[in-house]
Amino acid sequence: MPERYEFTVCETQSGERLDKYLSEQDIGLTRSLAEKYIREGAVCRDGRPLQKSYHVAPGDVLTAVIPEPQKLQVLPEAIPLDIVYEDSDLLVVNKPKGMVVHPAPGNYTGTLVNALLAYCGDTLSGINGVIRPGIVHRIDKDTSGLLIVAKNDFAHKKLAEQIQVHSFTRVYEAVVHGNLREDDGTVDAPIGRHPTDRKKMAVTEKNSRRAVTHYHVLARYAGFTHVRLQLETGRTHQIRVHMAYLGHPVAGDPVYGPKKPVSGLVGQCLHARLIGFVHPRTGAYLEFSSDLPAYFTQFLKRLQY
């Protein structure tokens, strides 16, 4: 059965956007999930559904009908995991290149979620629904590196709040086409859905969100540059879109890069190298890094000769 909640807005919360207000209530919703339920008409005042842009006022009596979590249909699979850190609230996992994070059409098995279900059982957070248990953020199939998995809703909500205010530290390394003009730079360009290809993202002013990527050149080679990239925001395909926007797409990127494949490289040369965050329960700042994988170091060696 769906859960029905009722809230009365107090003076100190006056003026907050509805999605923000709802995510701050003690019912285990992230802001993105609050937005989803608002869009579906689940949040009302005086029996009338509200928009997420509504600003709450003192004395408002709001009702929210939250659907009962669906039973998970994704099956556990005994796939080895490279666990960098683990405690009772979370895991930090080093994802290999080629592994999809969560099930989607065409990829219902062999995903990180399948592996997590076998390893953690039913101890993963349920905030992101039946297909993405425990998944706080994700990286692309052909991107390797670190990501965080929440074991409970408390940890998930606290970690998602950090992502919302851009306080996560997320550092990547990539090899990109061409030679960047400056050794250091920042790309501050909004990202939204591509206007004609709905499977792609693009730098666009229409229906977009601000996206900021900082880069630093680590080494230069003939036709390629090795760069470190730090995310200030975390939009879908952000690094890939921003580097392509600069005219320096990630080497091996089949979507945003040149149509001609890079010899000996399958998928993009992009690795989530470092992640840092405040632990949701202890308040301590934690930071973890992972070595560059073999595919990445082998490509760098090829470029040196």
State both tokens at 288.
């973890």
One of 60, 89, 140, 253 is an active-site residue; which one?
140
Q: Are 189 and 211 in contact (CB under 8 A)?
A: yes
Q: How big is the CA angle at 113 (ends 111 and 117), to the nearest 5 degrees?
A: 125
Angle formed by the axes of helices 31-39 and 153-164, nearest 10°: 90
Residue with tokens 């930071």: 287
Q: Are 169 and 276 in contact (CB under 8 A)?
A: yes
Q: In what order do the strands lie in the sheet with 191-193?
A: 201-203, 191-193, 208-209
Please tell me the distance from the alpha carbon of residue 50 to that of residue 120, in angstroms, as a whole number. 38
46 is catalytic: no
Of 244, 242, 246, 292, which is closest to residue 269 (Cα–Cα)? 292
- 71: DSSP letter: P
State both tokens at 172.
């990547």
- 196: DSSP letter: S
Please tell me the distance from the alpha carbon of residue 36 to that of residue 20, in angstroms, as a whole number. 12
Q: Which residues are catalytic?
A: 140
